[in-house]
Structure 1
Amino acid sequence: MNRIHLIPYRIEEIITVAPQIPEGVRMIKAPEVWGKAEGGQGNVIAILDTGCQSNHPDLEDRIVAGRNFTPDYSNDEANFEDNNGHGTHVAGTAAASLRDGGVAGVAPEAQLLILKVLDAKGSGDYAGIIEAIHYAIDWTGPRGEKTTVISMSLGGPDDVPELHEAIKRAVTAGIPVVCAAGNEGDSSPDTDELGYPGAYREVIQVGAVDFNRKIASFSNTNDEIDLVAPGVNIHSTYLDGQYASLSGTSMATPHVSGALALIKNIAEKEFARNLTEAELYAQLVRRTVPLGYPKTAEGNGLVELDALEKIEQFFGLDNRGGV
């Protein structure tokens, strides 16, 4: 069986200073709903990646726990430090703290469960990833916290039944699973470009757009694309307390993972109850706008977190009528 890997990505630039609210976070209109969503507070986003720099100034207050599922650091399960850079970048986009001198993530008050499933070279085995998914489902934090979103910017060619079953278990438990579409796109929306776990129907598969709202040339197209998010020249946290601009559907994915933490707070407050995974997905889709591309490229469209509120204000509607 093939190993599973990081979705290939580009490092555009490594910098010491980045914009406090990156353009990608602004593009999906996260700041517009931070107040209503309490910044995602109370949610835990499980990041399955290369680990995370645990003492990065923008992330140290966000990390609630972590575990290593790779042979790195002599198989030390307690050491989930990032020795690649990708995981730190993804974690920052999802939930970096809003603070002076740093960059904010989409849900800057959410917490992060860091599950290192890929080694320094960005490679991992399916068994470790499957184990990490089950771990995220069963995990309980020091104050009773539970995982509310699973984010995976990784992929491989194999449809592994045990991986599929783990994902279906997460969804049944009410946990949305957000996955990158992949970066093997050939700009032809008529050709299916599939990687797993992104191609599973149960996951929320994310393609990438640039800041001009154009589908990124590298973004995979297939029948299972659910939506798109910013994935080109994305500023976020990086190793050694620095910042970097990276491109790939890997970068689009945590925008959606963070968005779900915000949506969960907004919607569950409005409906005065916990929502199922299917209901959370419906609320996410209601906060997308079409871009005019085929469904195989953009799915339901670009995430814009204030889209539903704008419609309701325009028509004088109340969102409580149904999920």
Structure 2
Amino acid sequence: MAKTTFFQGFFLATCTVVGLGFTQVLPILSQTNRIPKPLNTPVQLRIDPKRILGFSDLRLRALQLKKPVRVIARLSQTAVTGSTPSETPLPAALDAPLPQINSAQSRIINRFRTLGVTQSNGIEGIPLVVLEVNADQLDQMIANGEVAEVFEDRLSDTTLDTSTPLIRAPQSWNRGARGQGQTIAILDTGVQRNHPFLSPRVVEEACYSTNSPGNNATSLCPGGVESSTAPGSAAPCVGTPSCDHGTHVAGIAAGRGNNFNGVAPDASILAIQVFSRFTDSPGNTPCTNAGRSSPCLLTYDSDQIRGLTRVRDRTAARSIVAANMSLGGGRNNAACNNDPRKAVIDQLLSRQVATVIAAGNNGWRDSVGAPGCITSAITVGATTDSDTVASYSNVSNLVDLFAPGGRGNGDGGTRINSSISPNGFGEKSGTSMAAPHVAGAFAVIRSLAPGATVSQILTALQTTGVSIAVPGTNPALTRRRINVEAALATFVNRPANPGTFRTGLITLNQTFTVDFDGGMTAAGNASDLWFQAVTANELYLSPVNGAGMWVGDRSNRGYERCVNGAYSPSRVSLTNVPVGSYICMRTNQGRISQFRVNSISAGSPKQLQIGFTTWNQ
């Protein structure tokens, strides 16, 4: 997200190929075989086409192909608000009233349908429309000032148990930070919701996919529709390479199993399928152009925008912390903030949702794929077990973070093991695998620091991880490989390693004992007792040995503030304790720390939930 280079000019909207496990950019071919109706009279342009971003390149492309091209048109203020057209149409505001956006989209779509445009639709809540048009229709599109910018709706590809310990995720779990209460959106090739590694935490699904006969594209949504939010909408496809990609990515971010976990094993998943199935035919070879065999899975920019819009609309209801996009296309050595996906990525950022994107797998050391070149996104490169840059990983100053992506050809180490459909596990490598490590890290941190912003979490990850120099860069480039535990500690100074939990009637003078980990040094250690008041109105706790003791709100970052209590070297007294969670912590110079419940007054039964943790100061 903290990208420093900027680009002024035109960027083609990209079509993303399944995941960034190894990806490429695909040029868009013709979109429909139908011949549009000719215009009755020559178009008299009232708007200088040179003032419309992207128009000249797209018109030339349509003339060369002699077929319609698929475009994303950004509506102007004139189209949305009815204001007087200006010589240079200005883009409509993103926060324009929804009825105005919907009305403008419907009007423009209906107008072009009368001209023979058969492929057209709007993107809900954003002043964008998607059309398949020829050169004459492009002229007509901008003639009355209702379109401010046009982009080619291009294709992108996917960017294809040892990784979580490497980033010290287990130590964060031991602090109670497991992603609970957070949701990670996975925009990919679908997720197997009943996979043992993910069930029952796939809480919601959606699908946005395209039927475009002229591009040999077929929707993967249930029943062949182009959009769905019903249960089962994001079920992974079968019979095509990369169908299991989304399930693998979801497992890295939030899987939970008997032998190993993903980064945020208690987080929920919003699965969004954004890919379409493509086939090659004579003169129309989208799969070959993407370096894939036919049939293949690719994704349009417009379907990604729809998926991100769904994330935006469900953020509040689902406490979404991150949207993972292990996909990309194109080569970008500068920021691409004219990309049509930026608008909704910015909307997500304003809602404190991180959009985490794989950098791509071309092995470039000066470029990344789109949409990773958008500066408001968080772009992730891949490293190996030995903390070297993976040979396949794209790297440039547009990359924000590194995370484990598995070995490439010639690299040492292992690949990333995670869930695959149906009901299995498998190993993959790529920046596709690195990105969900970061998305999971956001969920882990937000679960204990719910007020942390995207910028604050990113800064913590960028300042606490392992510093990795990128060979072959001039000037020398260094980025951090994430360390989740260290980043979490900047927000919550919470003890680690939870011990025995007890629930039940607490008797007077009952002593609880916790034994420090043998690997800890004696001096400077501390122990932590947390409790949840159920019915008690007054609680007295005292240390059996040692001196210091503090009581703090469990959500507080430190222990410097007592909650309804007074501190003395021998006793902590809490009065009028409301139902809730609190922390008692005392320093200790030895390996054994004990707490005694001296008395509990009022409330029946006198019940507390007790848990011990230990940590090294």
TM-score for both structures, normalised by structure 2: 0.45
Contact 1:215–1:297 (8 Å) recurs in 2: no
- The correspondence of residues 186-197 of structure 1 with structure 2, limited to 5 A, is 186=364, 189=365, 192-197=366-371
Alpha-carbon deviation of 1:308? 4.9
- Range 118-127 or range 40-49, more displaced: 118-127
Alpha-carbon deviation of 1:293? 3.0
Paired residue for 1:174? Answer: 352
- Show structure 1 runs of 5+ residues with no match: 11-21, 269-273
Return the structure number with greater strand share. Answer: 2
> 1:301 aligned to 2:476?
no
Cα deviation 1:91-123 (Å, max 9, x = unaligned) = 0000012x32x6411000000000111135331
User: For 1:34, which of 152, 157, 173 is the aligned residue?
Assistant: 173
> 1:251 aligned to 2:433?
yes
Alpha-carbon deviation of 1:223? 1.2
CA distance in structure 1 between the aligned counterparts of 2:179 and 2:452, rounded to whole angstroms: 15
Alpha-carbon deviation of 1:199? 1.1
User: For 2:325, which of 140, 152, 161 is the aligned residue?
Assistant: 152
CA distance in structure 2 between the aligned counterparts of 1:117 and 1:31, rounded to whole angstroms: 31
**What number of residue pairs does the alignment pair up?**
294
User: For 2:261, which of 99, 104, 119 is the aligned residue?
Assistant: 104
CA distance in structure 2 between the aligned counterparts of 1:125 and 1:309, rounded to whole angstroms: 36
> 1:47 aligned to 2:186?
yes
Partner amino acid, structure 1, of 2:401: L
CA distance in structure 2 between the aligned counterparts of 1:301 and 1:255, rounded to whole angstroms: 13
Contact 1:68–1:80 (8 Å) recurs in 2: yes
Return the structure number with greater helix share. Answer: 1
Partner amino acid, structure 2, of 1:88: T
- The correspondence of residues 199-238 of structure 1 with structure 2, limited to 5 A, is 199-232=373-406, 233-238=415-420
Contact 1:180–1:207 (8 Å) recurs in 2: yes
Alpha-carbon deviation of 1:309? 7.0
SS in 1 for 2:270: strand
Alpha-carbon deviation of 1:126? 1.2
When the two chains are superposed, the root-mean-square deviation of aligned CA atoms in Å is: 2.7
Paired residue for 1:129? Answer: 304
Runs of 4 or more, structure 1, over 4 Å off, are 294-299, 308-314
> CA separation of 1:103/1:297 partners in 2, compared to 1, >3 Å: closer, same or farther?
farther
TM-score for both structures, normalised by structure 1: 0.83
Paired residue for 1:63? Answer: 202
Alpha-carbon deviation of 1:152? 0.5
> CA separation of 1:305/1:207 partners in 2, compared to 1, >3 Å: closer, same or farther?
same
Identical-pair percentage: 32
CA distance in structure 1 between the aligned counterparts of 2:476 and 2:345, rounded to whole angstroms: 23
Alpha-carbon deviation of 1:306? 2.3
Contact 1:194–1:220 (8 Å) recurs in 2: yes
Structure showing greater radius of gyration is 2
Alpha-carbon deviation of 1:307? 2.8
Cα deviation 1:117-139 (Å, max 9, x = unaligned) = 11353311111110111110111
- Show structure 2 runs of 5+ residues with no match: 1-12, 23-160, 210-218, 238-242, 278-295, 407-414, 496-520, 525-555, 559-617
User: For 1:114, which of 271, 288, 292 is the aligned residue?
Assistant: 271
